[in-house]
Chains A and B, each alone.
Chain A
Amino acid sequence: GESVGLHLPTLSVQEGDNSIINCAYSNSASDYFIWYKQESGKGPQFIIDIRSNMDKRQGQRVTVLLNKTVKHLSLQIAATQPGDSAVYFCAPQSNKFYFGSGTKLNVKP
Chain B
Amino acid sequence: GAVVSQHPSWVICKSGTSVKIECRSLDFQATTMFWYRQFPKQSLMLMATSNEGSKATYEQGVEKDKFLINHASLTLSTLTVTSAHPEDSSFYICSATTGNYGYTFGSGTRLTVV
Residues of A whose CB lies within 8 Å of any CB of B are 1, 32, 34, 36, 41-46, 49, 89, 91, 93, 96-102
Residues of A within 8 A of B95 (CB): 43-44, 97
Q: Are B46 and A42 in contact, with the CB atoms below 8 A? A: no
B94 to chain A, nearest CB (A): 8
Q: Are A44 and B93 in contact, with the CB atoms below 8 A? A: yes
Interfacial residues of chain B within 90-107, with CB under 8 A of chain A in the complex: 91, 93, 95, 101-107
- List 19 extra interface pairs beyond A43-B108, A97-B46, CB under 8 A: A1-B59, A41-B91, A42-B108, A43-B6, A43-B105, A44-B44, A44-B93, A44-B105, A45-B105, A46-B102, A46-B103, A49-B101, A96-B49, A97-B95, A98-B46, A99-B36, A99-B43, A99-B45, A101-B42
A-B contact pairs, 19 of them (CB 8 A): A1-B46, A32-B101, A34-B103, A41-B110, A42-B108, A43-B93, A44-B95, A44-B105, A89-B43, A89-B44, A91-B103, A97-B34, A97-B46, A98-B46, A99-B44, A99-B46, A100-B43, A101-B43, A102-B43
Q: How many A-B residue pairs have CB under 8 A?
A: 48
A45 CA to B24 CA, complexed, in Å:
16
Residues of A within 8 A of B44 (CB): 44, 89, 99
B104 to chain A, nearest CB (A): 7
A91 CA to B105 CA, complexed, in Å:
13
Smallest Cβ-Cβ distance to B9: which chain A residue: A41
A80 CA to B83 CA, complexed, in Å:
45
A32 CA to B100 CA, complexed, in Å:
11
Smallest Cβ-Cβ distance to B101: which chain A residue: A32
A91 CA to B95 CA, complexed, in Å:
13
B2 to chain A, nearest CB (A): 9
The 10 closest A-B pairs by CB, nearest first: A43-B105, A43-B108, A99-B44, A43-B107, A44-B105, A99-B43, A101-B43, A43-B93, A102-B43, A43-B106
Q: Are A96 and B46 in contact, with the CB atoms below 8 A? A: yes
B1 to chain A, nearest CB (A): 8
A45 CA to B43 CA, complexed, in Å:
14
B80 to chain A, nearest CB (A): 19
